[in-house]
Structure 1
């Protein structure tokens, strides 16, 4: 899914912390690692070097001015990944800000942060190996755009803008769950094919699909035109490829040569694709109730 060339981007919704951190991260905090692995929405195999400590180091800087200069229009979002994150965050905030009040809910937007190398968060310090993640403690989504190369080169997802936007939308799905209280089920029931953790992740996939199905309806007030171009069949195929690439069964097969559903935390490739497609087709977040679904492979 591409952005209309003239759409105006609001970089104030994204903080840029790339290139400003020094020092080392101590390895440890196993309990925190397990908690984060159950909440963040990225494969546990990608999580490394998480430690306690929420305060940002003194050397961490924000590059908001540079981001504002480089990411001004939809054309920039189509050409640059960091600008695409900005544009997708803009679209997600616009959609959820309009959608949640229909369900008598307020939508305080999450913070969104670009980082590379390492970053300090309310959930602890993390390296780029974590990839994109959401921290419920500080209500912030963190994105290292280098993960998208890993998504295609190592995990086998198709290239394409909606594959990347799906990842961003999934993390925003966790923010919605943080607002509704559903995110807690990951911690209470952390693994297994029908676990709370899996149901949380599949619901976030569904929410990502709901956004994708509604994104082209969001109007850019600066131009009066839709913020995004119509979704193509190729776009949808790219997003489904990304959802499949981060399925528990696919990752376990690739890393260990066998699949163990008893240790799943995110759901199978087929389930992740099914719930994204379900959200896209119905366009209604209230229909993303994975917690009462009798068959996680067949959304209804």
Structure 2
């Protein structure tokens, strides 16, 4: 992605090097969901993961002294700021075209742990969006893990895809989709509630594709392949197969690798926010 020397967003809180507080959020992020998926398998593996979950629930943030960022760390933080700026420009234009006003979210960069309006979180949560404060949270170490632990091919646009996906959740908050989904989950059994969660996540992938379509002037050859590689790596089936050796479809909460790639590409190919009704295709 062409990003060096380009405009950066001012809506970024860089808390790297600062300590957070509160208990850890396990769910809501791409890495954190692995623990929940393993726990959903039941049996011996569930017993093995239980002590880990208990440690997360009991975790209290330790106080550490803040330290200044190195030049390398400062440089690492520039790319997400450029991506966030690109999302601001694209979504402001799309919202205006649809007679709506786009409210910009903030992005919080942190290390190890962070306090949010949705509770405390650790790096194990992976990048996530908190609707309570309309902020995207991410520990940039995740993007190394995306390649080393999840098997993505790497590249800066894999990072851009993840950021755009989380901004997709912000779009859903602004449009009221997230609130409607949570309401629809009430009274549903776990499998049915999970289907609604999958639809929400796939729609966020779709919105990431829409953003990429409208940001083509800043893309390099191979960027879309990098996004698809990341989507492949974080599909529920790919994660479960890697962690467990078999998959449990009714426990999916984010969608399969093929679904995630399909909806990202549908967003990219159409560029039309009205083509992303993932909820109509639940069955």
SS at match of 1:164: helix
Counterpart for residue 205 of structure 2: 205
Tell me, in whole angstroms, the C-alpha distance in 1 between the residues paired with 2:191 and 2:15: 33
| Residue ranges of structure 1 left out of the alignment (5+ in a row) | 218-227, 296-300
Determine whether 1:283 maps to 2:271.
yes
Tell me, in whole angstroms, the C-alpha distance in 2 between the residues paired with 1:173 and 1:62: 32
Tell me, in whole angstroms, the C-alpha distance in 1 between the residues paired with 2:93 and 2:206: 18
Tell me, in whole angstroms, the C-alpha distance in 2 between the residues paired with 1:81 and 1:187: 39
Deviation at 1:102, TM superposition (A): 1.6
Mapping for residues 61-80 of structure 1, pairs under 5 Å: 80=75
Counterpart for residue 33 of structure 2: 44
Counterpart for residue 216 of structure 1: 216
Tell me the C-alpha RMSD between the 2 structures. Answer: 3.2
Counterpart for residue 12 of structure 2: 14
- The question of whether the paired residues in 1 share the 8 Å contact of 2:158 and 2:227 is answered with yes
- The question of whether the paired residues in 1 share the 8 Å contact of 2:20 and 2:120 is answered with no
SS at match of 2:78: helix
Number of aligned residue pairs: 260
Tell me, in whole angstroms, the C-alpha distance in 2 between the residues paired with 1:200 and 1:129: 21
SS at match of 2:100: coil
Tell me, in whole angstroms, the C-alpha distance in 2 between the residues paired with 1:85 and 1:50: 30
Counterpart for residue 225 of structure 2: 237
Tell me, in whole angstroms, the C-alpha distance in 1 between the residues paired with 2:214 and 2:67: 32
Question: Which structure features the higher share of helix residues?
Answer: 2
| Residue ranges of structure 2 left out of the alignment (5+ in a row) | 37-52
TM-score of the two chains, using structure 2 as the length reference: 0.81
Tell me, in whole angstroms, the C-alpha distance in 2 between the residues paired with 1:255 and 1:70: 33
Choose which of 234, 238, 246 in structure 1 pairs with 2:234: 246
- The question of whether the paired residues in 1 share the 8 Å contact of 2:172 and 2:178 is answered with yes
Mapping for residues 105-120 of structure 1, pairs under 5 Å: 105-120=100-115
Q: Deviations over 1:93-115 (max 9, x none)?
A: 11111111222221111111000
- The question of whether the paired residues in 2 share the 8 Å contact of 1:195 and 1:265 is answered with yes
Counterpart for residue 273 of structure 1: 261
| Runs of 4 or more consecutive aligned structure 1 residues displaced over 3 Å after TM superposition | 40-43, 46-53, 56-63, 186-194
Counterpart for residue 255 of structure 1: 243
Tell me, in whole angstroms, the C-alpha distance in 2 between the residues paired with 1:51 and 1:105: 43
Relative distance call for 1:89 and 1:57 in structure 2 (3 A) is: farther
Choose which of 60, 65, 85 in structure 1 pairs with 2:80: 85
Relative distance call for 1:96 and 1:86 in structure 2 (3 A) is: same
Relative distance call for 1:168 and 1:203 in structure 2 (3 A) is: same
